[in-house]
Structure 1
Amino acid sequence: MPTRRTVFATVASGLLLAACASAPRGAGQPPIVFVHGNGDSASIWQTTLWRFESNGWPRERLHAIDLPYPLARDDDGKAQPGRSSTAEHMAFLKAEVDKVLRATGAPQVVLVANSRGGYAVRNYIQNGGGDKTVSHAVLGGTPNHGVWAIKGFREANEFAGTGPFLSALNAPKNAAGDEVAGPVKWMTLRSDNNDKFAQPDGVWIGARGTPTNVGFDGPALKGAHNVVLPRVDHRETSFSPAAFDAMHRFITGQAPRTLAITAQTPVVLNGKVTGLGVSPTDPASGNETNNLPVPGAQLTVYATDPATGERLGAAVHSKTVGADGLWGPFTAQPGVAHEFVISAPGYATTHIYRSPFPRGSELIHLRAERIAAADRSAKSIVTFTRPRGYFDAARDTMSFDGKALPGVPPAGAGVSSSKLLSTQDGTRLVAAEFNGEKLAGRTWPAADNHVAILELTY
């Protein structure tokens, strides 16, 4: 990996330096476009948007995009069903930025990206005209020097640090050897050592004991303002309160008024029902992530008892999803937990349990699931998932059905979901907790093609 004379800030000094960055010109808050990572969706930015709103940002100036096919190709230069290339990713971002500029009348946008989303941001600014339309770029956990940097190993993949895509992005832009160029202002956010995709050992890419030739500092870029956030995981580089604090200071030059998410009423919720495609590498699985709507899906919402997961009466909302995939709007009662039930041909009946929503959002995307062949012998299947971060047994206080989380290693933040395969007949409570957020759901019979998901918000 090329030598980089990058100065890494500690959190305190990094945020102090960020506060000195000049705020975008013009009155009011600039529009921000949020770009998700590999396999994710716009919904992952839900809490970040809430924090910006809680600090006075108008909702109409916060735009989170959904890449239809969010997974990268195995070989960037070869078409692959259900996957997107770096060129397609950049073109999609460019079209969205143009749309936001037209809608807002603003001269420029701020781009905030997580992980793979940062590749599209860098490609757009360097090769797609974004140097004129972007004022600030924030990259959280983007593997800017690759997930691996091994000569001759999968170099056609966009995550290869020695491959043509990243080599071109990282080529020096000036005599100082900077990897980014103005007039855009750049900031990277990285973990000190807990990002699964910035590890010197290949444990998280299935190659334990093999050097990746990428260090903990892999997301940093020479010429950018590089901030280190202690002990955050790969996703928390973008979605944690500390990440929001750094973003706000960098964009505005000021500390946020609050890191909390302030309550708002009415709590109006909406989002898309999305599904799964067929994996080109494993057609039998049928579980390749995409962000396409599932027209004709039936969505039903129930208020639930936060202690037992039991439904509190009849459905409070029901809708057959149209071509746009939208299942709302639905006005939720503040402080009330909910069960979202998706029924769609070709999918398991999916029961998603969520804790109370403090504010409204149009990013409550709900994914219909399928039962994996390996799980069909279970009496019931319950998944505990944390979309905006990973589970770290050495760092977090958590439990699932009263026990340690199945499948979560004793150290390291590399797993964001845990699956309970029950051998018991009947329906019962399954509770989960993560750092104070509590969820309660019910088991459902897998034999009748039902699955349950306990989904954390924070």
Structure 2
Amino acid sequence: MHSSLLPRRSFLLAAAAASLVLAGCGSSSPDHPPIVFVHGNGDTAALWQTTAWRFESNGWPRDRLYAIDVPYPLARDDDTVAQPGRTSAAEHMAFLKAEVDKVLRATGASQVVLLANSRGGYAVRNYIQNGGGDRTVSHAVLGGTPNHGVWAIPGFREGSEFSGTGPFLTRLNAPKNAAGDEVTGPVRWMTVRSDSNDKFAQPDGVWIGQPGTPTNVTAAGPELKGAQNVVFPRIDHRETSFSAVAFDATYRFITGEAPIRTDIAAESAVVLNGKITGLGLNSSDPASGSFSNNRPLPGAQLEVYATDPATGARTGTALLKKAVGADGIWGPLTTQPGVPHEFVISALGYATTHIYRSSLPRSSDLIHLRPERIADADKTADSIVTLTRPRGYLDPARDKMLLDGAAPVGVPAGAGVASAKIKPSGGQRPIAAEFNGERVVGQTWPAAQGHVVLLEISQ
């Protein structure tokens, strides 16, 4: 691994300066340490799919890239109080430690690089400070981690991990040396944040249900003293990890070199895989709740079809039909780049969920899928169609978006939501979502017969 690093200081980088794209694929780095990707609160390993592809497109071996999937990814409301279907800070850290140990055994490496988004950065910091990670981690990159809290209001929900005045963050942020550094050495640290557009680094409490209440947190909340702190204009909370500019900064930090490319190089043949997960404490039990989990949904049925990019209609018989087993794994499926797909999930207690995606340029085992449930308010709709962007939010002031030919309604300013839903009528027909140049076309399906449609943006 190259040891030359950028200086540890805060600076503003224009997005254009970080979009270096050159021809070819491969890396001049002679060594590629294993990288472990750590997702955020309520999220899934699947969000790292495009980041992994960018590393691969720069010559990083696929078998040196690992994305963990916390079974119950939501934090407790109060970290000291057990809460079904949620993980404590200690459980989160222990899970990460166990996964890192697996990676070290599998690769024979002595150290890993940790890349984390949002709450995932808490587990990384806790592991390095308190779990032995100071010996097993060379570099840590935290994207959008609310290191000084989503709020820092004395007396307000201080049992939460996200309280800047609570015991968890107070301990993590305690000075580590005479210089007052908040990071634990000898690990090299970088944070990536937005200049103003991260919903969890806002001075007003609107995104925590307290509009008009000062949070005592600013856009600089994710920064850490002693780290290299990188700022990009207008990126949102998830783009701090999953965008091309975040990849560029991360690659430079790890290797000391610019990446050859920040776009994604297509492969001549694509092998897709992943798992089907559910909702609630028990994925298979609709009565157990509707919160996210990353546990398998045994018995779920999956069908995958190639689709016409112009109409979303199926172009032939199913490429794959499978009922998943106890592990939830649905593949593998060999397909071609440039072909869009429809993934259809059927499971007891869920709506038949049609997920349309534009073409997938590279192989991946992070095509994780989750069926939806229909809300009571939507059951009388002709059809239910959602534009969803898992790797970023929707910002009407920044993004060019269309859903069924019109700007999505009800999307608030400030990059605060990752989806927009409509209930179109007119029977089964093509329907398109467009987001900053990416276009996904699907078909409407009847809600009365228990169908929902997701048009998923990859970027």
Shorter-chain TM-score category?
Answer: over 0.9
Structure 1 residue 346: Cα displacement: 1.1
Residue 39 of structure 2 is matched in structure 1 by 36
1:225 equivalenced with 2:228 (yes/no): yes
Residue 434 of structure 1 is matched in structure 2 by 435
What SS does the corresponding residue of 2:384 show, helix, strand or coil?
Answer: strand
Structure 2 residue runs without a partner (length 5+): 1-7, 19-28
Residue 189 of structure 1 is matched in structure 2 by 192
- What is the alpha-carbon distance in structure 2 between the residues aligned to residue 195 and residue 102 of structure 1? 37
Residue 3 of structure 1 is matched in structure 2 by none
Residue 389 of structure 2 is matched in structure 1 by 386
Q: Which string of whole-angstrom CA distances, capped at 9 and with x for unpartnered residues, describes residues 232-288 of structure 1?
A: 000000011100000000000100011110011210000001110159xxx979311
Residue 62 of structure 1 is matched in structure 2 by 65
Letter in 1 for 2:57: S
Structure 1 residue 406: Cα displacement: 2.5
- What is the alpha-carbon distance in structure 1 between the residues aligned to residue 281 and residue 373 of structure 2? 11
Structure 1 residue 425: Cα displacement: 5.1
Equivalent of residue 375 in structure 1, options 375, 378, 387: 378
Residue 449 of structure 2 is matched in structure 1 by 448
Residue 302 of structure 1 is matched in structure 2 by 305
CA contact (8 A) 1:285 1:372 kept: no
TM-score of the two chains, using structure 2 as the length reference: 0.93
Q: Which string of whole-angstrom CA distances, capped at 9 and with x for unpartnered residues, describes residues 7-64 of structure 1?
A: 5211169x99xxxxxxxxx951000000000011000000000000000000000000
Residue 401 of structure 1 is matched in structure 2 by 404
- What is the alpha-carbon distance in structure 1 between the residues aligned to residue 88 and residue 317 of structure 2? 45
- What is the alpha-carbon distance in structure 2 between the residues aligned to residue 205 and residue 41 of structure 1? 22
Residue 270 of structure 1 is matched in structure 2 by 273
- What is the alpha-carbon distance in structure 1 between the residues aligned to residue 203 and residue 247 of structure 2? 27
Letter in 1 for 2:44: S
- What is the alpha-carbon distance in structure 2 between the residues aligned to residue 111 and residue 336 of structure 1? 33
Residue 11 of structure 2 is matched in structure 1 by 9
Q: Which string of whole-angstrom CA distances, capped at 9 and with x for unpartnered residues, describes residues 282-306 of structure 1?
A: x979311000111111100111111
Q: Which runs of 4+ in 1 moved over 6 A?
A: none
Q: Which string of whole-angstrom CA distances, capped at 9 and with x for unpartnered residues, describes residues 358-388 of structure 1?
A: 1110000011111112222212111110000
What SS does the corresponding residue of 1:48 show, helix, strand or coil?
Answer: helix
Residue 318 of structure 2 is matched in structure 1 by 315
Q: Which string of whole-angstrom CA distances, capped at 9 and with x for unpartnered residues, describes residues 64-109 of structure 1?
A: 0000000111111111111111000000000000000000000100
Structure 1 residue 167: Cα displacement: 0.4
What SS does the corresponding residue of 1:227 show, helix, strand or coil?
Answer: strand
- What is the alpha-carbon distance in structure 1 between the residues aligned to residue 38 and residue 457 of structure 2? 21
CA contact (8 A) 2:128 2:184 kept: no
Equivalent of residue 177 in structure 1, options 163, 169, 180: 180
CA 382–405 in structure 1, closer or farther in 2 if over 3 Å, else same = same
Structure 1 residue 407: Cα displacement: 2.2
Equivalent of residue 144 in structure 1, options 120, 142, 147: 147
Within 5 Å, give how 1:110-149 maps onto structure 2: 110-149=113-152
Within 5 Å, give how 1:14-25 maps onto structure 2: none
What SS does the corresponding residue of 2:380 show, helix, strand or coil?
Answer: coil
Letter in 2 for 1:421: K
Equivalent of residue 78 in structure 1, options 78, 81, 90: 81
- What is the alpha-carbon distance in structure 1 between the residues aligned to residue 264 and residue 139 of structure 2? 24
CA contact (8 A) 1:76 1:156 kept: yes
Residue 343 of structure 2 is matched in structure 1 by 340
CA contact (8 A) 2:281 2:293 kept: no
Structure 1 residue 444: Cα displacement: 1.1
CA contact (8 A) 1:271 1:362 kept: yes
Q: Which string of whole-angstrom CA distances, capped at 9 and with x for unpartnered residues, describes residues 405-456 of structure 1?
A: 13212x311110011123x252122111001100111111111111110011
Equivalent of residue 92 in structure 2, options 67, 89, 100: 89
Letter in 2 for 1:454: L
CA contact (8 A) 1:147 1:160 kept: yes
CA contact (8 A) 1:265 1:360 kept: no
CA contact (8 A) 2:104 2:111 kept: yes
Q: Which string of whole-angstrom CA distances, capped at 9 and with x for unpartnered residues, describes residues 120-145 of structure 1?
A: 00000000000000000000000000
What SS does the corresponding residue of 1:380 show, helix, strand or coil?
Answer: coil
Letter in 1 for 2:83: Q
What SS does the corresponding residue of 1:214 show, helix, strand or coil?
Answer: coil
Q: How many residues align?
A: 438
Residue 20 of structure 1 is matched in structure 2 by none
What SS does the corresponding residue of 1:427 show, helix, strand or coil?
Answer: coil
Letter in 2 for 1:120: A
What SS does the corresponding residue of 2:423 show, helix, strand or coil?
Answer: strand
CA contact (8 A) 1:69 1:84 kept: yes
What SS does the corresponding residue of 1:56 show, helix, strand or coil?
Answer: coil
Letter in 2 for 1:154: R
What SS does the corresponding residue of 2:47 show, helix, strand or coil?
Answer: helix
CA contact (8 A) 2:9 2:227 kept: no
1:416 equivalenced with 2:424 (yes/no): no
- What is the alpha-carbon distance in structure 1 between the residues aligned to residue 380 and residue 161 of structure 2? 38
CA contact (8 A) 2:238 2:392 kept: yes
